[in-house]
Amino acid sequence: MIKLPEDIDVSNKKPRDSRWNVFKCFDSYFNSTFPKVSSRFDLIHVNTYGLVYILNGTDKTKKPLLLTAHTDVVPVPENTIPRWTYPPFEGHFDGECVWGRGAEDCKNSLVAIFESLELLLGQGFTPKRTIVLGIGFDEEISGHHGAYHIGQYLLNRFGPDSIYLLLDEGGNISEDVYGSSFALPATGEKGYVDVFIKLATTGGHSSIPPSHTSIGIMAKIIDAIEDEPYEPQLIEENPYYKMLQCAAEHSESMDPKLRKNIRSMHLESSKKNVIKAIAENISSKYFISTSQAVDIIHGGLKINALPEEVVTEVNHRIIYGSSIGQIREKVLRAVRPVAKRFGLSIDAFGVRMEFGDSTPLGKVTLTTYDGLQTAPVTPIENNPTWKLLSGTIRHVFEDSKSAFNVNQKPIFVAPSIMSGNTDTRHYWNLTKNIYRFNPIRGDYSYNIHAIDERVHLDAHLETVAFFYDFVRNADQIR
């Protein structure tokens, strides 16, 4: 499947655009590779390249199980291809690993879902619970053409709160969480918003420049934004709160002071100590902080012409306890003194501001698109779907014999949070039981979204085993 080069970034183009044609090949691939799935499941094409597979169960009183994945991958920049050990779309197997773009995100899970179902059907499996597969094709660019339409189709067909459980990509199994092994299904997801900052000024010849060109002024704005990072915060709604509590109880090598503070987070002083410790580590900091990243800037056309317009885009991933409104306020707080200093007016998300009586020398426009608040958190207390997921994880990755489990180390299952966003954003109204989990050991999947992305074959086989057991176990639960 890695040989199918479905790297695409045309978020403003509809699926009828010819650049989406790379996704035509998936029908024939699934039909030829998984004939039992293709013959038993009904296939519905949604918005051209979205795929919904449905196998009706024999017990109509049971809510359907929904498994989701996506066929698209992030692009491979042309200038990085020589740095790959093997070509990124060759799907090379070296005897241990499958190499290529999308090997981990998310062809491992996508193929494993089909492989497990093909095996089950070949063994005569007839489900009581309806099984639904939702395969998007633009998850890497927010899923507006794929998962959004799949979600609407499923909502129209089954209704709101009609799905028993949704399992999508997400956290994996970490072999070293304070010295112990933890599976970390995400029961929540950070919010998202991009802020666009456009600065328009008078142009001119670069031989007679002002003291600060529009690019220089934008640099001041960027400095102001980056000089004020978001304060970390940890509220009980954040799934990471429960993850820390679980780690404090079960991890082998957590610092004793941190363990003590986590156990007493009901005290404000202890919580502050926990926040300070977590925020000092870049790998955990953004589980309790809103992130801001100035990712795009463009402006200027010629070396001898003053730039008349400069645009900067700032990406934000919003933590529980914050909001899109607070992001807007913070960006405006950074922009306002710069605009005042240089005599610029501001259009702040539709509200105009001017400073002084003189005619503004330019204009700063702030806008946001496609904002997403933090996701509803899946409850885990007394929730049979959590017991189903955690029990299956422990059976496959802890109890079963595999190349990676010779020591039979215990695996603890704790809720966590996705710092990025997944296609689940389009399925919120289908179920309250949404889990984001890649059933793979993190130490054996490498370089997601990067050069030499690859997955160990034995780790992939564990993923297949997980879906095989998970589908069977879900079928037995009332």
Which residues participate in catalysis according to the annotation? 72, 139
Sequence-distant (6+) residues with CB within 8 A of 137 are: 6, 15, 20, 23, 49, 50, 51, 70, 71, 72, 145, 146
b/e per residue 236-266 (b: at least 16 CB within 10 A) = eebbbbbbbbbbbebbeebeeebbebbeebe
- Compute CA distances 266 → 242, 260, 269, whole Å: 13, 12, 9
